[in-house]
Amino acid sequence: MRTEVGGRGVVGKLQGEKPGKTIAFRADFDALPIQDQKNVDYKSTVDGAMHACGHDIHTASLLGAAKVLSQHKDKISGSIIFIHQFAEEQIPGGAISMIEDGCLDGVDEIYGAHVWTSIPLGTIGIIGDYAMAAGDQFDIEIIGKGGHGAKPHVTVDSIYIASQVLNQLHQIVGRQVDPLKTGVITVGKINGGQAFNIIAENTKMSGTVRTFDAEVRDTIEEKIKQVTTAVCEGLGGTANISYTRGYPALYNHPEPLEKVDDLAQNVVGKPHVKYLLPSPGMEDFAYYVKEVPGAFFFIGGANEEINAVYPNHHPKFDVDERCMLNAAKMFISLALQEKQGADDER
């Protein structure tokens, strides 16, 4: 086992007793800066931090699979690499530094899973081709000329300019992106002004861009810069624009995904394999599958009976912990390339 891989990652290796491929599994373990609002005895004990995306489920599932597989080395062909990754939730993410530190050296295939409360316990979700979006961040500072709220004609109102920039940004996808492709621009934060009767000299806004197509990604970045600059100059202001590329789109390779599909039908039963639409969320597992073939799949964790119905990143996020059995079975099946029978309970 190696610790501090790429900074804070942990990588374990299990050598089988038969020759064969090297297969890697990845789990992430970071929490989110959210106050846990669940009324359960296992809620977070750390103020302002909770596992609101199920990464604790991912880690526990992979550890469980590793424990089982270590007891059956005679059935393993090749070797299994267990990647426990930090900082999936924070750009630039932990995947890049772990890859640079050699976590994929000699790896032939890689697989990852994510618990999902949009599908119920006992199901496994599969998305072909591009499964999750590329995610970028932009930060814009609009600079005007401050002054008295009663005399706007001698000022340059940065808040007003920001409102016009916001409107124009939202037309980029609808009017400058191929309608057969897709993208999302969301402004999530605007800060400007100090008092009700003062025209703000500076206003800041930040947002995110989600795309699946590399050309669309380039187009939206270019148009955000062009539109913002043009609007600001036309209204007498200026803009400082910072655009940060986040994770690339996550591509599921056909052959590994076919294995996932085939084995999932045995783990949960064919009627319980759900073929999902691509998610506009982002995942730095995308970096691994840019290096080696692999696939990322989704484990159903929703259960209305225990109020496990809230989406990922919600302060009441919870899952039915029995989903860990299905995640572990999938990893074990992929490791052994054998079909594990479905449970009646799922």
Exactly one of 28, 30, 201, 320 is catalytic; which is it? Answer: 30
* Rounded CA separation 10/19 (Å): 25
Q: How far apart are CA 185 and CA 222, in angstroms?
A: 13
For residues 130 and 124, what is the distance between their CA atoms, to the nearest angstrom? 17
**Does the annotation count 222 as an active-site position?**
no
Strand 238-245, strand 183-192: pairing: unpaired
- Can you tell me the distance from the alpha carbon of 323 to that of 299, in angstroms, rounded to the nearest whole number? 7
Is 150 within 8 Å of 193 (Cβ atoms)?
A: no
Q: In which residue are the tokens 């961040």 written?
A: 137
For residues 41 and 296, give the distance between their C-alpha atoms in angstroms, rounded to a whole number: 31
Q: What share of the chain is helix, strand, coil (3-state, %, to 5)?
A: 30, 35, 35
Tell me the backbone φ, ψ of residue 156, rounded to 5 degrees: -125, 105
Pair type for strands 183-192 and 18-28: unpaired
Q: Are 122 and 344 in contact (CB under 8 A)?
A: no
Residue whose tokens read 């009700």: 196
DSSP summary character for residue 164: H
Closest CA to 29 of 114, 107, 99: 114
At 102, which amino acid appears? G
User: How many angstroms separate the CA atoms of 104 and 291, rounded?
Assistant: 8
Active-site residue (options: 88, 201, 213, 318): 88
Joined together, the tokens standing for residue 275 give 């073929």
Give the chain's end-to-end CA distance (angstroms, integer). 32
Is 36 tagged catalytic? Answer: no
The rounded Cα 129 to chain-centroid distance in angstroms is 16
Q: Would you please indicate which residues are annotated as catalytic (active-site) residues? A: 30, 88
